[in-house]
Structure 1
């Protein structure tokens, strides 16, 4: 049996960071993911998928990701049920992230957004000086060219 989900999309809002009674960090956010095919009207359709991240990775996601940022999530689908205040059973589908990778640069941070994969990649280490080094990927149009991209909120699909 296999339960694996891989998503790439943009955050619809800043992540919400909370702590359990035992002190474990948990962050949640929604990822807007475009479907591969257009709908009957020719318009692209978007799914809004709830993501949950735990422990240290939750704190890093809450610190470095904001609304509109592009992220990749690798995890598992979880379906849970609970009783709401009115006593009705509610069924919730969400992706529990094992790995969250930051796929674009933040506008204010100046930090590297190479990603965070389960506690092994320090996010606050200094970036190497690449001013005299050859480009890492000569064919990569998204290589580190230190230029910012100006995107207005009207350009975002949510």
Structure 2
């Protein structure tokens, strides 16, 4: 949608994601990402932490389920989404305003960690049969079991030099 503020944040999860279901049946996962800037102080020869930014985030539907099953407290993540402002009246009668990030895409940062990814099919995601997890991220060696999560069915001729045919024009 035009006019929305899209941001990317890199930081660590402050707690395990919380998965809830709305009264209409939609899944929503809530969590907070803490992002702390670090600068190098030439006088002391050390890095210094700046003021941390704590940004409350929410993911919806299939992404919510994937976040709850794949992310855990302390993980470094890269998240992209739409920054939204919401106002409400607190129980004490005061008016409050909060900024939240509606997550469109999120994943683990590979700067200081490694991971294995397993892809879910659309029907698996609908049935809640996500095969990833916070401790495994799917099958670490998919070729050993013969599964290829990125494969597509053979739906036609193979083009290439081995068959002596030209690639199709686009």
After TM superposition, list the pairs within 5 Å mapping 1:75-154 onto structure 2.
75-103=81-109, 112-113=116-117, 124=131, 126=139, 127-129=141-143
Alignment partners' CA distance in 2, 1:90 and 1:2: 21
Q: Do 2:18 and 2:31's aligned partners in 1 also have CA atoms closer than 8 Å? A: yes
Structure in which a larger fraction of residues adopt helix: 2
Aligned match of 2:48: 43
Q: Do 2:4 and 2:82's aligned partners in 1 also have CA atoms closer than 8 Å? A: no
Q: How far does residue 3 in structure 1 lie from its aligned partner after superposition?
A: 1.1
Q: Do 2:27 and 2:60's aligned partners in 1 also have CA atoms closer than 8 Å? A: yes
Aligned match of 1:32: 34
Aligned match of 1:10: 12
Aligned match of 1:64: 70
Q: How far does residue 37 in structure 1 lie from its aligned partner after superposition?
A: 3.7
Bigger shift: 67-76 or 41-50? 41-50
Deviation beyond 6 Å, 4+ runs, structure 1: none
When the two structures are aligned, how many residues end up with a matched partner?
Answer: 122
* Root-mean-square deviation over aligned CA pairs: 3.3
TM-score (norm 2): 0.60
TM-score (norm 1): 0.64
Alignment partners' CA distance in 2, 1:82 and 1:4: 23
Gaps of 5+ in 2: 132-137, 145-170
Structure 1 residue matching 2:142: 3-state secondary structure: coil
Q: Do 2:38 and 2:48's aligned partners in 1 also have CA atoms closer than 8 Å? A: no
